[in-house]
Amino acid sequence: MEIKIEKTEHPGKLGNLDDVAFGSVFTDHMFLMDYYDGEWHDARIVPFADFHIHPAALVLHYGGEIFEGLKAYRTAEGKVQLFRPEQNIQRMYNSAVRMALPLFDKEFMLEALIKFVEVEKDWVPSGFGTSLYLRPFMFGIDPKLGVHASKEATMCIIASPVGSYYAEGINPVKIMIEQEDVRCVIGGTGEAKCGGNYGASTRAGERAEQQGYSQVLWLDGVERKYIEEVGAMNVMFKINGTVVTPELVGSILPGITRKSIIEILKDAGIPVEERRLSVDELVTAMKDGSLEEAWGCGTAAVVSPIGEIAYDGVKYTINEGKIGELTQWLYDELTGIQWGKKEDKFGWITKID
Ligand SMILES: *Cc1c(COP(=O)(O)O)cnc(C)c1O
């Protein structure tokens, strides 16, 4: 399918991002494509604008929505590049399967994403740590209240320039183990990147914030015994020299940052285990000091060190509340590849220009 391009007559300008909240300013254009009659139609890049939506549209009632998040980076030489974009497209495809949304041609979507970034490349900020955040998403719009799989949908990509996540330095966060709400269960939609998972998890995050914590640490939804994720990030612990991260049992989002870190650790010969990790084992490791480092990982923050974990009203400090040596090294390795300061030895970079 050909991608039509209609440029705006009122182009905006990339301003200073220092005091801009994450994801609150958008570029000039968006990518759109419509699904009906069993096919995708009219792929186009058009001026950024509001949607018109039928009040009975499926997404507004039954939550038929999936999304992705990735970044375009500007290197010190001024070039624009993406980090493993084919992984995001594959995950979006898997999410569409799980949510009974229309499937799409993965190669075509990757091409559309790249073309969109080419059109918006002047919006990719320069400066280490800054990026153009890309948000592909799809939602069902069938204008009927009957519950069924979506037969009409909109595919869209929007983009938002973002400043450095760590403008004030990498400060370890305090997190709280959530004991009431659960994010999802095996067989549910935890593996899919869908808006519904966020709808279910927002309350716990808000309550944690009121108590002075920046995220919750989720336990599995059945036994409330195994560690799953931290906020909207995957989580890793360095215990006695070995990195332990929850295995992808079906209720955990398969993060691309998580996968990349595992590959970097294996390549460096650092022991890493993907397995179930119980909250009891974690508490024991915090008490006896064998928990050396802990961090969350995801596209937005890359790596987010954890300095304190609260459980059952008890607070445990990790690595004296400071960022660990391995956490810092992983941050440097990943961001080095993403911003083009380090050799792309795993072949993860897609160059745009
Ligand atoms: C997106 C997301 C992640 C991180 O995935 P990345 O591909 O590394 O950005 C982790 N957990 C949840 C719930 C997510 O939505």
Phi-psi region of 84 (alpha: psi -120 to 50; beta: other; left: phi over 0): left
Residue type for position 247: E
pLDDT above 90 for 11: yes
Instruction: Note the pLDDT of residue 252.
Output: 97
In the chain, % helix, strand, coil (3-state, to 5) comes to 25, 30, 45
Per DSSP, 198 falls in state H
Q: Domain coordinates of the chain in residue numbers?
A: 4-162, 173-338
Cβ proximity of 228 and 248 under 8 Å: no
Q: Taking the domain 4-162, which CATH number applies?
A: 3.30.470.10
pLDDT above 90 for 114: yes
Centre of ligand 1 to C-alpha 55, Å, is 30
Ligand 1 pocket test target in 134, 234, 297 with most atoms within 8 Å of CB:
234
Instruction: Note the pLDDT of residue 9.
Output: 96
Ligand 1 pocket test target in 88, 202, 253 with most atoms within 8 Å of CB:
253
pLDDT digits (tens, 9 = 90+) for 290-299: 999 999 999 9
Instruction: Note the pLDDT of residue 141.
Output: 98
Residue type for position 266: K
Centre of ligand 1 to C-alpha 257, Å, is 8
Bridge partner list, 136? 157
The neighbour count for residue 280, using CB atoms within 10 Å, is 10
Centre of ligand 1 to C-alpha 252, Å, is 9
Per DSSP, helices labelled H in the chain are: 58-62, 85-98, 106-119, 195-210, 256-267, 279-287, 325-338
Instruction: Note the pLDDT of residue 310.
Output: 97
pLDDT digits (tens, 9 = 90+) for 224-246: 999 999 999 999 999 999 999 99
**Residue 152 CB-density burial (10 A; 0-12 exposed, 13-18 middle, 19+ buried):** middle
- Tokens for 162, please give them: 């973002």
Nearest to 124 by CA among 348, 319, 340: 340
Angle separating helix axes 325-338 and 256-267, nearest 10 degrees: 110
pLDDT mean over 153-163: 97
Instruction: Note the pLDDT of residue 167.
Output: 82
pLDDT mean over 104-108: 98
pLDDT digits (tens, 9 = 90+) for 193-224: 999 999 999 999 999 999 999 999 999 999 99
Residue with tokens 């897609």: 350
pLDDT above 90 for 147: yes
Sorted by sequence, the CB contacts under 8 Å of residue 239 that are 6+ apart come out as 285, 290, 291, 292
Per DSSP, 341 falls in state S
pLDDT above 90 for 265: yes
Measured from the Cα of 183, ligand 1's closest atom is: 13
Q: Regarding the domain with residue range 173-338, which homologous superfamily does it belong to in the CATH classification? A: D-amino Acid Aminotransferase, subunit A, domain 2 (3.20.10.10)
pLDDT mean over 125-135: 96
Tell me the C-alpha to C-alpha distance, in Å, between residue 205 and each of 2, 182, 236, 274, 350. Answer: 43, 11, 19, 26, 34
pLDDT mean over 22-27: 95
Instruction: Note the pLDDT of residue 18.
Output: 87
pLDDT mean over 132-137: 98
pLDDT above 90 for 169: no
29 lines ligand 1 (CB under 6 A): no
Length of the chain measured in residues: 353
23 lines ligand 1 (CB under 6 A): no
> 3-state SS string over 21-77?
CCCCCCCCEEEEEEEECCEEEEEEEEECCCCCCCCCCHHHHHCCEEECCEEEEECCC
Tell me the C-alpha to C-alpha distance, in Å, between residue 280 and each of 177, 217, 274, 277, 283. Answer: 12, 14, 17, 8, 5
pLDDT above 90 for 353: no
Instruction: Note the pLDDT of residue 318.
Output: 97
Q: What is the mean pLDDT of the chain?
A: 96
Q: What is the pTM of this model?
A: 0.97
Interatomic CA distance for residues 350 and 341, integer angstroms: 15
pLDDT mean over 48-67: 98
Instruction: Note the pLDDT of residue 340.
Output: 97
Instruction: Note the pLDDT of residue 189.
Output: 96
Lowest mean pLDDT among 129-138, 161-170, 251-260, 303-312: 161-170
Centre of ligand 1 to C-alpha 95, Å, is 13
Centre of ligand 1 to C-alpha 12, Å, is 30
pLDDT above 90 for 168: no
Q: Cα–Cα–Cα angle for 175, 178, 182, nearest 5°?
A: 130
Centre of ligand 1 to C-alpha 226, Å, is 18
